[in-house]
Chains A and B, each alone.
Chain A
Amino acid sequence: MKDIKKTIFESKAYSCLDCGKCTSACPVARHDSGFSPRMLVYDAIHESGPEVFRDGRLWQCLTCASCETICASDVRYGEFIRALRGGAYEQGISGQCTHGGALQALMHIMASDELNQNRLDWLTRQLETADTSDTLYFVGCAPYFETFFADLNTKSLKGATGSITLLNRMGIVPAISPNERCCGHDLLNSGDVEGFLKLARQNVKEIAESGASRVVVSCPEGYHTLKEEYPRYLGNTGFEVVHIMDLVAQAVLDGSLQFHAVKKKVTYHDPCRLGRISGIYDQPRDILGAIPGLQIVEMGHHRSSALCCGTQSWMNCGSVNKQIQVELLREAKATGADILLTACPKCKIHLQCAMHDEVLGQDLKIEIKSFASFVAGALAR
């Protein structure tokens, strides 16, 4: 059994001052008075027994890091939650999976060695890719999302095609792994460390075999997992991980990427994994700022206080999560923007799902686009 004391020590939960700032910042606590990040820490410290693992609140946390940014004692709450979930998972307890467990099954299936996927059918002739290259573009689960969420018309692959277009325009012809696996973020986040490690080892092997020294990622979760979690669990992975926004922002600064005028008003949503967890706030705003004619408006909650898209790791989605999504969409509507941009394919799915509300319907409807596809669409010819 996972040592709770060790977890409390490592995640610095011992330094909790009991001030309650985390609860005030927590998007779940705002809509569910029964949930409190502080109480979870309190219970873990005072009970330290297996009953902590049986706490249903454990699975409600969105690991959005809103509490971490505000914490006076620098408690690493995400790490704390993940460790407790790991302990619970070892005992056979897990959260309620959504979508009939299809996504979880998909992740576990992808951990198989002999899998020979057929995931690159969406590549067109306009998108230049190479068999071997210094740079590998990590697509992520977008091909699966596009198919699985076809009824929501999420167009998850637009982010990937947009990213490749941007890379091509910067003179980079990336390699794409035909047998890339899920990055494992969601398994790690739901306590299945063993499942995560299987996927991580497969991916590291695939990338090493491709010979690429640099991996470009557009999915915020994939970026965080490849950059931070892989080295933490597997040691030196032998490749550099870059977010596409870093490259694009640099190219915009150099003047090597030019845009045509877009007379639109947009608002940008900071995904948790990209903003609060990876600290990428300025790059998307710099890139959008370079598009002539584009008006950028900020939502009430933006940058480090940005609202979470409401759901995590394909589990525990309920009324509270819906309320968070509604709150975010209302804020986006209130800015008067024509388009809501987000860099995360999952945020896009969750927000589009929330828009399918029959009662609130038009109240929440706003055009939502993937950041990379929007920027690629604005490239000068």
Chain B
Amino acid sequence: MARKRKIPQEFRICRDESEPRIVGFVCNWGAYSGLEMAGVKKLKYAPSVQLIRLMCLGRINTGLVLKAFEFGADGVLLLGCPSGSCHYEFGVDRAKESVAQIKKMLNLLGLGSKRVHLVEVPLGDGDFLARRINTFEKRIRELGPSPIKYVPTQIVLADQAATLL
């Protein structure tokens, strides 16, 4: 039952510390098609948002979002379908339940509930998506950096890990 831990390399890449770090979880259906549309239209959105594609926003849970904060994220943006038009019917509703819990946990930790935000993106609406990403990035910029500094206790290199299991 042992499991190999992996520390995401992306979070440890040296970058401009004054820039916010935002993790965006993107639903494969409504929101991702919106991103593609934004790309086709050559719309600009904040580069500090690091997007992670999921099959459905229902995949996220409190642990996953808290993990992003643990690794030093300043904000987490969740991009999904509007309630009622989820590809899996209930995924985005589950995500909303998780977000309610996450906000309470962040409040307890003193980070404030504003650092996490769920956006319901109408199918393939690139303009809307780019606008909302930029608004969120602006909000995080105003809130300032997260007090959590991720210091990796140890670095497991991928090749070293492969020899272990």
Contacts and interface: CB of A to CB of B under 8 A. Distances in A.
Given A54-B165, A105-B67, A192-B153, A93 B3 contact: yes
Interface stretch (A2-10, A96-104, A209-217, A346-354): A96-104
A50 B160 CA distance: 14
Chain A interface category by residue count? 35 or more
Nearest to A100: B63
A90 B155 CA distance: 9
A115 B70 CA distance: 12
A321 B128 CA distance: 48
Interface string B125-165: 00000000000000000000001110001101000110011
Nearest to A193: B153
B15 interface: no
B109 interface: yes
B105 A106 contact: yes
A108 interface: yes
A118 B109 CA distance: 6
Given A55-B2, A105-B70, A117 B109 contact: yes
B2 to A, nearest CB: 5
A169 B61 CA distance: 42
B144 to A, nearest CB: 11
Interface in A78-128: 88, 90-97, 99-106, 108-110, 112-119
Contacts of B66: 101-102, 105-106, 109
Nearest to A92: B156
Contact of A144 (B2, B69, B108): B108
B101 interface: yes
Contact of B110 (A115, A192, A194): A115
A344 B109 CA distance: 23
Most-contacted residue by chain A among B2, B3, B66 (CB, 10 A): B2
Given A101-B67, A105-B66, A93 B149 contact: no
B108 A88 contact: no
Contacts of A59: 1-2
Given A93-B4, A93-B5, A147-B105, A114 B149 contact: yes
B164 A91 contact: yes
B50 interface: no
A128 B69 CA distance: 34
A183 interface: no
Contacts of B69: 105, 109
Nearest to A85: B2
Nearest to B153: A194
A90 B153 CA distance: 9
B154 A90 contact: yes
Nearest to A54: B2
A56 interface: yes
B62 A100 contact: yes
6 contacts: A92-B4, A93-B4, A96-B3, A105-B70, A106-B66, A109-B70
Given A57-B1, A93-B3, A194-B154, 11 more contacts: A53-B2, A59-B2, A92-B161, A93-B165, A96-B3, A99-B62, A102-B62, A117-B109, A119-B110, A144-B108, A148-B101
Question: What are the 3 closest A-B residue pairs judged by CB atoms, nearest first?
Answer: A100-B63, A102-B63, A92-B156
